[in-house]
Amino acid sequence: MDSVRRTSEGPGRALVMTYGILALAACARGGYEVVVKFDKAPLAYSLSLFAGVVYAVATFALATNRRWLAWPTVLTEMAGVLVVGTLSFVAPDLFRLSSVWSWFGVEYLLVPLVLPFLGLAWLWRSGRAPDEASVPVDPAGGTDRPIG
Amino acid sequence: MSTPLVWVGVVLSLALAVWAGWYVLRNKPVVLRQLLGGAVVEVYLLIQLVVVLVHPAGGGAPSGLFWIYVGTQLFILPLAATWAFAERTRWSSVVLLIAALVVAFLQLRLLQVWGS
């Protein structure tokens, strides 16, 4: 595995942090909704909790360099936010009360919409063997410098 | 919940965000002093929690959702600090920047969810 970068390092460091925060936010929200007021909107609240679990698995997979788990998880996340986001516009009756992925995650500043694309881009990019063209991640070229 | 209690938290966490953002621009990793800055914010969040527990001013009892937020926000900076410090590139500063912005955001949300 020397030829590819670990998914937790470099840009992946920030990606894992973002996934972790979303996991925390969605699990706390979904868990609270399901426990306290599940009957009001079973579909939306179950989806929030499901989103939280997906984010938690993605966080774990990316943080521990488990690509085989990260790929399907991030793809699930992408499908989820796109399908639920679209449905919330096309069939708003389904989601009178919102879930994490409703309206493409606008309550979370659209981060849920952007994140799977960044995740896939990072999985793809970090998984390639480095060559001269792809290694410099940052124009200043100082990414791997030790603390100064 | 009293509004100044929240705004102090917003200002402190945004100050930390600016500090981290400055390091991102300068292409530098997180330094120990920034983690001490993060600890200051964290201590303030704890003080805030105690104040709300002892003297819930602002009318009405806080909602269950409020306690979820108060509890959740306490985890952000310690997790970010641990995670960031393992990385010795500018991306550790990005991690701290994200965490500080999220704390500022959650502080503002506290005002919204107080009575909901």
For residue A99, name the pLDDT band (cuts at 50, 70, 90). Answer: confident
Q: Which residue of B has its CA nearest to A145?
A: B89
Residues 6+ apart with CB under 8 A from A4: A126, A127, A128, A129, A130
In Å, how far is B43's CA from the nearest CA of chain A? 20
For residue A136, the 8-state DSSP code is: -
Instruction: Provide the whole-model pTM.
Output: 0.87
For residue A1, name the pLDDT band (cuts at 50, 70, 90). Answer: very low
- Cα gap B41→B49, rounded to integer Å: 12
For residue B64, list chain A residues with Cβ-Cβ distance below 8 A: 32, 36
Count of beta carbons in the 10 Å neighbourhood of residue B107: 25
Least confident of A83-97, A99-113, B25-39: A83-97
State ipTM: 0.89
Q: What is the pLDDT of residue B65?
A: 82
Counting every residue written for chain A, the total comes to 148
Considering only residues B88 and A131, tell me which one the structure prediction assigns the higher pLDDT: B88
To the nearest whole percent, how much of chain A has pLDDT over 90? Answer: 62
For residue B31, name the pLDDT band (cuts at 50, 70, 90). Answer: very high
Q: What is the pLDDT of residue A49?
A: 94
Instruction: Tokens for A29, please give them.
Output: 């929200």
Handedness of CA A4, A6, A10, A15 (dihedral sign): positive
For residue A130, name the pLDDT band (cuts at 50, 70, 90). Answer: low
Judged by CB atoms closer than 8 Å, whether chains meet at B99 and A21 is answered as yes
Least confident of A16-30, A133-147, B15-29, B31-45: A133-147
Judged by CB atoms closer than 8 Å, whether chains meet at B90 and A21 is answered as no
Tell me whether B82 touches chain A (CB under 8 Å). no
One DSSP character per residue, B85-108 reads HT--SHHHHHHHHHHHHHHHHHHH
- Which of A56, A24, A42, A17 minimizes the C-alpha distance to A99? A42
Handedness of CA A70, A76, A81, A82 (dihedral sign): positive
Q: Which amino acid is at A43?
A: L
Pick B79's closest partner by Cβ from A20, A142, A144.
A20
- Cα gap A103→B49, rounded to integer Å: 33
For residue A4, name the pLDDT band (cuts at 50, 70, 90). Answer: confident
Judged by CB atoms closer than 8 Å, whether chains meet at A18 and B98 is answered as yes
A135 pLDDT above the threshold of 60: no
- Which of B27, B6, B15 minimizes the C-alpha distance to B90? B27
What mean pLDDT, rounded, does chain B reach?
90
B57 pLDDT above the threshold of 80: no
A137 pLDDT above the threshold of 70: no
Rg (CA), chain B: 15
Average pLDDT over residues A59-74: 97
For residue B112, name the pLDDT band (cuts at 50, 70, 90). Answer: confident
- Which of B88, B105, B79, B75 minimizes the C-alpha distance to B28? B88
